[in-house]
């Protein structure tokens, strides 16, 4: 049985990071309007960087980079 992943989306860590990102977007939607360019934007950028960096690392040519 071949256990290799076919996509970064098969990685449990990516799935959890993506779920966290969605939850942060849902939560920050309820923040006060005056925070849209402060705390809200900072939290969203930090959240999206998690699954993005995992996906980018998965696509690297050499395993050491991954």
At 57-66, the pLDDT tens digits run 888 876 666 5
What's the confidence (pLDDT) of residue 1? 35
Query: What are φ and ψ of residue 29, in 5° steps?
Result: -65, -25
What's the confidence (pLDDT) of residue 42? 96
What's the confidence (pLDDT) of residue 53? 93
The string of pLDDT tens digits covering residues 1-58 is 346 778 999 999 999 999 999 999 999 999 999 988 899 999 999 999 999 999 998 8
What's the whole-model pTM score? 0.80
- Between helix 39-58 and helix 12-28 the angle, nearest 10°, is 160
Q: How do the domains of the chain map onto residue ranges?
A: 9-58
């Amino acid at each position: 049985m071949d256990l290799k992943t076919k996509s970064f989306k098969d990685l449990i860590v990516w799935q959890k990071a993506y779920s966290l990102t969605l939850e942060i977007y849902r939560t920050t939607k309820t923040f006060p309007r005056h925070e849209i360019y402060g705390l809200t934007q900072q939290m969203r950028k930090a959240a999206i960087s998690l699954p993005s960096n995992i996906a980018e690392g998965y696509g690297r040519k050499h395993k050491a980079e991954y």
